[in-house]
Each structure stands twice: as C-alpha cells, then as structure tokens.
Structure 1
C-alpha cells in the first residue's frame, strides 16, 4: 500500500488547486501580504476543439443532455464566456487534455464551434485528478457514486488519507468516510444510485443489511423512503428472511378503497386517519394535535349515543 503523503505537501497541493479553481472562475488568489498565491498560468487563448481531449480521470461521468443542450444554446447566442483549463496531452504533444471545463467543451462542440477559449497549464497526474474532483465537488456536479469513486482513486492511486481529502475538497472527514462507504455497493446498486432511483441515504442504510442488494431492489420496487429502508434493514437483522420482510411491506401497501375510506373519515372527523388492514383484523388510527382536538373527537364519536 502506498504511503500517505506528508501533511505539508497535501496542504500545499490543496491550496495550489484552489488557486487554480479561482483562476478558472476569473478570481485571483492573494496571500495576507497581498501577493498572488496562484501558480503561473498562460494567458487564455483559443484552441481548436478537435485538438482537445477529455480528461480520462474526470470524476464526472454523466452529463445531462437537457443541461448540455441549454448551455449549447447559450453559447450559440453569447459564445463561451469562461475559458476552460487544459494541459498538454502527455501522449500527444499536438493535443490538449481538459483539466476543468469539460461540460463547456461538450456544449461548445454541440453548438458547432470550431474553437474555444482555453488556458494552458502543466499539471501532473495527481493535480489533474484532484482538481477534477475539487471543481466538481465544489459545484455539486458529481452524483454520490462518482464522488465516492473519485475519492477512492485518490486514496488508492496516490495514498491520500481521509483527513487529507477532507482538507483538499473542503468537506468533513465524516462526509468523506460516508461517501467512500458507497463503494461497498454492487454495480447494480451503484447504477440505481447513479440514475437517481435511490439516494445516498437509501444506499448507506441498505449497507447495514446482510443483503444490501435485496434491500436496494425492494426500495426501488416499492418506492420506499429512507426511513422505510432503515426499518427494513432493522427487520432483516431480526427476521433474517427478505421474503418475510417483503410480505410485511406488501401488507402495508394500501389499495384504492382503503385510501378512499381514509379520506372520507378524515373529512368527517377533521383529523388525519390511518387504516392498517391485515388478514386477521387491523387498526384504525386517528391523529390529533392537542387536547382540544381530542375533546372534539370524543364529542363526535359519542354524539349519537347521547342523542
């Protein structure tokens, strides 16, 4: 296993990348003495779009087509307002590799542009990967799995620690740890998370079950919320059988007639009503907010008997 980098180097790298992010955004970075702390970068120039390649270490894998189309339309009308950041392609000195701004580059291609404004900067592999993560994480552009995979790559390939990552990307160590846990999901469960069929909260709860895949599948099928998944996981630890749990979940589903009856009773009583029907009877729950509502409910329920 690769040794962790010295903390001083991690801090320096993090600051340098933050400065680069500032430059990409058109904001200068200065020290307390008023001197620029940003690494030297060439002036922005135009580069042929065909000579630019995506970053193979780009953490973000999914680009929403609707958002790209909207950005492409804006570029057609106003041009590319912010230069992308590139480096010379290490495999072809006549080409360039994107450091930050792949979404703009894709949209510019879609808009039919032949050239795009770009700033050229020489970065090594670690800086390339980390700035890709920082750029996306700071803009909340990554889905949870992309973020987890990016953190995992930094730790596996470059020996970064959770503490070092937290400092570099501006997240808490707990956030880093919880995100990296998602890498324990199977590829099927990861795809559900990538596609937005479940949230990171669903996934983290499911990881506590003996069979996370079965829990995730049921959460997707039954459209369960996070609290439902937490209860499901708790039940699997006691009952053990997903088949038994599935029957309980199915039993808790309400048909149209039950929902209509709940609505009728709720209108009549002026309170929320919950009917839980089972094969051997069931429960009728009426929710009240305070004693005044309870008194009013008692008067309504005893009105006929007293008349």
Structure 2
C-alpha cells in the first residue's frame, strides 16, 4: 500500500498550529475567523492528550483573565449540529477559558475529515513544550502507523532531528512500569534511554531513582552491575558497520522488537532476524507482513 506523504493533514495544517503561547505576545499568531460562544464548543472525544496539569491550567486561566486568549482555537463544524463546533486544536485553552469565566473564544474554522482532525491534534500535542517523552513518542508512532509518515518526513515537517525521533521511539520498547516513571517525571528521557538495551530495565530504573543518579551515572550503571554478562560476540558482529547498526536500531524502534542484521561483507545477501518476547508481538508482526 502506498504510504501517504506530507499531505494536507501534516504540511498545510502545520501552518495552523503555532508553538505554545508566549505571554509576551500581544497579538494572535493566527487571525481568528470569528468569536464562538464557549457553550457551542465541544471537546474531541478522540483527543490523544488525556492528562491536563491542573497547575498549568490555573496559570493559563490567570493569563487569559489578564490578556485574553491570544492564540485562537482551531475548530470544525460538528457534524449534524448547526452552530456547534468540535475542537481540533486548543482544548487546553478551552478548559482554561472556562476557569477564567470567558463567554466566547476566538476561533479558526476548518472543514476537516475525521482523520485530519486526529492528525492535527497529534501534531499540536507534539509541538507542546510540556509534553513528556513518552507522550511525544506515542504521538510520533501514531503518525507513522495511522498515516504512513516516515521518520524523515516527520523530522522535516516538525523541525526535529531524525535521531531525536528515533531515540524517542526506542523508549516505547521499555516496560509499561518504566514508561510510567517517565510520565510521572521520576525518570528523564535521558535516563530512560540508558535502559532500552538492558535486560532488567525495571530493576535499574528503581536503582536510578533510589540513588538519585545522573544520566552519566545511570549509563555507567547500565554498563556494569545492571547488565548481565554477555555471550562472546562474534568477530563479524563486532565489525558491524555504523550504518547497519543504525538500521537495526530504526527497525527495532518501528517494530518494537529486537532486529538483527547479518550482512555478508562484499555480498548482496545476508540475514535479518526479528526477536519477539510475546505471542502478541509475533501475531502483530504476522499481521504486518500479511498486509
């Protein structure tokens, strides 16, 4: 199946999604189409962002009381309900505006498909500076899986480096218990990256938190007591070039399974091995290969 390139949902729509609000800005980044009564605005039930920090909402509501809503919401007409609108981007502003007792909000109205609504909502969340590493990684993965975008295209459109996107996607290989620590702010993305390749990430995560280790100290721990003795690596494996190792890492991140490439030097042939840890992973791989 042909993969979707930078279509309206990613390239053109990016023009509507500005970076997070800066209190110093005294005019909208995007001019609103009109003012919409707040009771006519409804949240999107498929909004990928589920958690809203109460302190941040309070701070934003105080700013809105003082300066108003600087950046307009992006809305689309609610299907089948004249005069009613669904939030495409800006739910945090909508929530804070209710706390600030605003009666109407500036909005840009767009006719968008359901797929474009989800895509733009993901993009807006990725653009936010307060997004934790796991939420950002899940956003990238959703854009790739649901809309066929590649790491290269995402990096180009979102102004991120390809290595940044690849490194975050690798975090999703960690156990959910470790990902929860990242969401809660107990582990940084740098700490989590040191755990991706170790066999006992949950144990090491606990030690990092208990000992309040820096990222460098965590890396040292992962190289020593946290890592079980490895089997002797074959000479060919030791000589594996950087491009092959990078390709292995990218495939592992995309499949969320360990991928090993054994390419015979000077030849066109080789082997690609995919290691799964659960039957669910095997089933998912079979479904992908069967498409």
Q: Same fold (TM over 0.5)?
A: yes
Residue matched to 1:86: 75
Matched, 1:100 2:99: no
Aligned length: 223
Equivalent residue runs for 1:216-295 within 5 Å = 216-235=205-224, 236-239=226-229
Residue matched to 2:185: 196
CA contact (8 A) 1:59 1:147 kept: no
Considering fraction of residues, name the structure with more helix: 1
What's the CA shift string for 1:157-180, capped at 9, x where partnerless?
222221222222121211111111
CA contact (8 A) 2:75 2:89 kept: yes
Change in CA separation of 1:58 and 1:168 when aligned onto 2, cut-off 3 Å: farther
Q: Once superposed, what is the RMSD of the aligned Cα atoms?
A: 2.8
Residue matched to 1:16: 12
Question: Per-residue deviation at 1:22?
Answer: 5.5
Larger Rg: 1
Question: Per-residue deviation at 1:147?
Answer: 0.6
SS in 2 for 1:175: helix
Residue matched to 1:271: none
Q: Distance in 2 between matches of 1:74 and 1:216?
A: 38
Residue matched to 2:122: 133
Change in CA separation of 1:91 and 1:61 when aligned onto 2, cut-off 3 Å: farther
Change in CA separation of 1:225 and 1:117 when aligned onto 2, cut-off 3 Å: same
Q: What is the TM-score with the length of structure 2 in the denominator?
A: 0.67
Question: Per-residue deviation at 1:57?
Answer: 4.3
SS in 2 for 1:237: coil
What's the CA shift string for 1:92-129, capped at 9, x where partnerless?
56532212222211101111223222221112234323
Residue matched to 1:53: 42
CA contact (8 A) 1:60 1:142 kept: no
Residue matched to 1:144: 133
Q: Distance in 2 between matches of 1:172 and 1:82?
A: 27
Q: Distance in 2 between matches of 1:193 and 1:48?
A: 38
Residue matched to 2:272: none
CA contact (8 A) 1:58 1:129 kept: yes
Q: Distance in 2 between matches of 1:126 and 1:17?
A: 12
Structure 1 gaps of 5+ residues are 29-40, 241-307
Q: What is the TM-score with the length of structure 1 in the denominator?
A: 0.64
Q: Distance in 2 between matches of 1:15 and 1:92?
A: 29
Question: 1:215 is matched with which residue: 184, 204, 227?
Answer: 204
What's the CA shift string for 1:254-284, capped at 9, x where partnerless?
xxxxxxxxxxxxxxxxxxxxxxxxxxxxxxx
Change in CA separation of 1:78 and 1:171 when aligned onto 2, cut-off 3 Å: closer
CA contact (8 A) 1:144 1:194 kept: yes
Q: Distance in 1 between matches of 2:202 and 2:93?
A: 36
CA contact (8 A) 2:9 2:120 kept: no
CA contact (8 A) 2:76 2:112 kept: yes
Structure 2 gaps of 5+ residues are 22-26, 231-291
